[in-house]
Structure 1
Amino acid sequence: MPERIFHIATASEWRTALGTGTYATSTVGRTLEEEGFIHASRRDQVPGVFERYYRSLAEDLVLLTIDPTRLTSEVRMDPVGDDTYPHVYGPIEPRAVVDAVPLSRTGQPETVMSLWIKGMARRMGIALAVMLVIAAVLWAVALQR
């Protein structure tokens, strides 16, 4: 059993889990109840899982790092094709998640600096758009005089 296992979640579902005390999404569009377990992966499997199932999602994603010893649910390494993947046979309690890191649109973990830069770029873009609208209005008013 790997020391830590990983699960990609939407940021909104993770926020909900923090409020309710349980996370029960198996994978994109599938619940624990529907699937029978929650899909997880070893760290080396995360990029492939992201590419296959999450790349096309427009939602914000987080990579959950799970300590299996903190789970009350059973974790099994199940065969999938030529490999094995960890599956959590029950809900994941937030206390078992030792880290939740935002993922970029390429599936790479975001750093505080990259998130700050993206936020700053977004705010600068909005400010520029507002300035252009004001300039256009002032120009239109000046032409009417």
Structure 2
Amino acid sequence: MIFHLVPEAEWPPAPGSAYRPASLSTEGFVHCSGDEAIAQEVAAALYREVPGTLLLLTLDESRLTAELRWEEADGRSFPHVYGEIAPDAVVAVQELRRDAEGQPLGLAPRR
């Protein structure tokens, strides 16, 4: 499994549509993490100013229709999905709880 952070306002995609975050157009791939702890580190570093609820999508790699590559960034290996993500590749959605400064407090099942 791999993990992807998304603002709640962007999930789920419209019925019958695949998920296409802005990074797919601007960078050519969807940023993901190899585990939940790293996803929370990414949230702390890059999503602190993003308002509202953040969701952590759990993606089943075997259900991806786009190419998945593990690539180096900041001295670590991260999974990048080179195409849109079909909603059926998402096997779980969790809310990332954050404090007033945007720092992660942990994950909770989506209500």
Structure (1/2) with the larger helix percentage: 1
| Fold match by TM threshold 0.5 | yes
2:3 aligns with: 6
Q: Give the Å deviation of 1:20.
A: 4.3
Q: How do residues 92-111 of structure 1 correspond to structure 2 at under 5 angstroms?
A: 92-105=85-98, 106-107=103-104, 108-111=106-109
Structure (1/2) with the larger strand percentage: 2
Q: 2: distance between equivalents of 1:50 and 1:70?
A: 25
Q: Give the Å deviation of 1:21.
A: 2.4
Q: 1: distance between equivalents of 2:79 and 2:27?
A: 14
Q: 2: distance between equivalents of 1:111 and 1:33?
A: 30
Task: Read off the aligned partner of 2:63 and give its amino acid letter.
Answer: R
Moved over 2 A (4+): 18-21
Q: Give the Å deviation of 1:19.
A: 2.5
Q: Give the Å deviation of 1:111.
A: 4.3
Counterpart contact for 2:33–2:79, Cα < 8 Å: yes
Counterpart contact for 1:41–1:86, Cα < 8 Å: yes
Aligned length: 105
Identity, in percent, stands at 35
| TM-score of the aligned structures, taking structure 2 as reference length | 0.85
Q: 2: distance between equivalents of 1:39 and 1:49?
A: 10
Structure 2 unmatched ranges of 5 or more: none
Q: Does 1:22 align with 2:15?
A: no
Change (3 A) 1:111 1:71: closer
SS at match of 2:39: helix
Q: 1: distance between equivalents of 2:46 and 2:74?
A: 16
